[in-house]
Amino acid sequence: MNYEKLGICMTVIVVGCMLGFSTVASGEFDLNLTQGVEISPEITQSEDRLDNAYYDWCYKMKLECK
């Protein structure tokens, strides 16, 4: 009888830990784990350049892209 209670308690603990880990890993809740991380200006500049990369290529190749 005690083994059955122990098995039920261990199952609840393991399932609770797995659900807690998956909830935190999903990113649904903001835990501020990335404090002090700054985005470098090089990354934002590269994103701006990539937005028009296709049209820049078309312009250089003298093609009409839509």
| Residues 6-65: tens digit of each pLDDT | 999 999 999 999 998 888 788 776 666 666 666 666 666 665 566 677 777 888 888 887
pLDDT in tens, 26-36: 877 666 666 66
Q: What is the pLDDT of residue 50?
A: 63
Q: Which residue did the predictor score with more confidence, 47 or 4?
A: 4
Do residues 65 and 56 lie in contact, with contact meaning Cβ atoms separated by under 8 Å? no
Domain hosting 19: range is: 1-25
Tell me, yes or no, whether 59 lies in a domain: no
Tell me, yes or no, whether 65 lies in a domain: no
Q: Alpha helix locations (H) across 1-66? A: 2-25, 41-51, 53-60
For residue 22, how far is the Cα from the chain centroid? 13
Buried b / exposed e over 37-61, threshold 16 CB at 10 Å, is eeeeeeeeeeeeeeeeeeeeeeeee
The domain tally of the chain equals 1
* Length of the chain in terms of residues written: 66
